[in-house]
Amino acid sequence: MEALLAALADPARWRLVNLLAERPRSVGVLAQLAGARQPQTTKHLQTLERAGVVTSQRTGQRRIYALRPGPLRGLATEFDRLAGTADQVSGARATYDRYGLSLQAERGAAEGAGWADGRTFRFRRLLTGRPEAVWRHLTERRLLARWWTPDDLRVSELLFEARPGGRIVQEYRDAEDVNALDRVAGRAEGIVDDVLPGERLTYRLSPLLPDGSPAFTAHVDMSLGPTDLGTDLHVHWRITDSTVDAADFVAGIEIGFGQSLDKLAATLAAESADTVPTDAADTDATDTDARSAR
C-alpha cells in the first residue's frame, strides 16, 4: 500500500497512469503524450511496475506497458473504507462536528467581557449506587480521575479538597498522549464552597487561559437524591466573569461535561456489577499524586 501511494503521488507518474488507463502504450509514445524525455518516462514506468500498478512486455523493438486495475481497485476500496469511517454519524467525528458548530456560535456571541455571564447548563443522570457511593466518586481524587474529563482527554493532575474553602486543581491531557510529550490540553483551578456529604456539593471552577488568567468562573451545584435503583444526580452550571476568550471553553461545556457524567454512570454501573471494584489500584489516569497548584 505504501509503495503504491508513493508511486502514484508523483504528478508525472499519475499522468502516465491516466494514459495507460486508456490503452496499453509503448515507452516512446507515452513520453511523447506526456511531454517528457524517454529516459525519465522509463524510470517513472519502472517505479510504477515495482509498485505493481503497471505491467510490461517486450514486442519487437518496443516495450509496451499496460495498467493493472486490481491494485487501483484495492486502493479505491481502502479509500472508500476510510471515507465511510469518517462519515459515521456517531462517535468521535460526530462530536468533533458538533463542537465545531457550537464553537462557531459561541465565538460569534463573544463580543466583549461578560458576554456569557448568567448562562446556565443543567445536567441530570440516574446513577447506579447509593448517594454515599456516588459522593465518593464526586470528591475522592482517585475516583474522580476515572471520569472527570471528556472522552478524548485524561486527568494528568488533580487536587480536590472536599471541604468548604478547599482547593481544586484539574489538569488534563490528550488521552493518547501517554508519555506527556504534547502540550497540556487544559487546566482549571477553583474553590469548594459547600459540602453536605451524600446530598450536596457546590464549587467554583475557572478554566485557565494560556497566560494563566481565568477564562470564566463556573459555579457548579451538584445535588444527590436517593431513588429505588440508585441516585438521582442533578448538576447546575452558572457562568460569571466571562472573557472574550472564554468562547472556546463555553462551546464545550454541554458536550464535555455530558461525556464526563456518562463516564461516571458507566463506572458506577460496572462497579455495581463487580467488574470494576472501587478499591482497585489507581489507573494511569493521573500522572501525579495530588500536587499543589502551580
Q: At what angle do helices 11-22 and 2-9 cross, to 10 degrees?
A: 100
Of the listed ranges 71-75, 140-144, 178-182, 183-187, the one predicted with least confidence: 178-182
Q: Residue 84's pLDDT band (boundaries 50, 70, 90)?
A: confident
Task: Using the predicted structure, report yes or no on whether residue 54 has a pLDDT greater than 90.
Answer: yes
User: What percent of the chain has pLDDT above 90?
Assistant: 82
Q: Are residues 167 and 191 in contact, defined by beta-carbon separation less than 8 angstroms?
A: yes
Q: What is the mean pLDDT of the chain?
A: 92
Q: Are residues 206 and 219 in contact, defined by beta-carbon separation less than 8 angstroms?
A: no
Q: What is the mean pLDDT of residues 273-280?
A: 53
Looking at the chain, the domain(s) classified CATH 3.30.530.20 span: 92-272
Which pLDDT does position 89 carry in this prediction? 62
Q: What is the mean pLDDT of residues 201-214?
A: 97
Q: What is the mean pLDDT of residues 85-96?
A: 78
Bigger pLDDT: 220 vs 92: 220
Q: Are residues 222 and 201 in contact, defined by beta-carbon separation less than 8 angstroms?
A: yes
CATH code at 2-83? 1.10.10.10
Cell, residue 15: 499522468
Q: Is the backbone of residue 207 left (phi > 0), alpha (psi -120 to 50) or beta?
A: beta
Q: What is the mean pLDDT of residues 24-48?
A: 96
Task: Using the predicted structure, report yes or no on whether residue 285 has a pLDDT greater than 50.
Answer: no
The contacts of residue 77 (CB under 8 Å, 6+ apart) are: none
Q: What is the mean pLDDT of residues 134-157?
A: 96
Residues forming beta bridges with residue 225, ordered by sequence position: 232
Q: How far is CA 244 from CA 108, 119, 204, 238, in A?
A: 10, 14, 19, 17
Task: Using the predicted structure, report yes or no on whether residue 288 has a pLDDT greater than 60.
Answer: no
Largest CA distance in the chain: 93
* Residue 73 burial by Cβ neighbours in a 10 Å radius (0-12, 13-18, 19+): exposed
Q: Residue 274's pLDDT band (boundaries 50, 70, 90)?
A: low
Q: What is the mean pLDDT of residues 64-73?
A: 96
Looking at the chain, the domain(s) classified CATH 1.10.10.10 span: 2-83
Tell me the torsion sign for CA atoms 71, 76, 81, 86: positive
Which pLDDT does position 287 carry in this prediction? 55
Question: What is the CATH superfamily name and number for domain 92-272?
Answer: START domain (3.30.530.20)
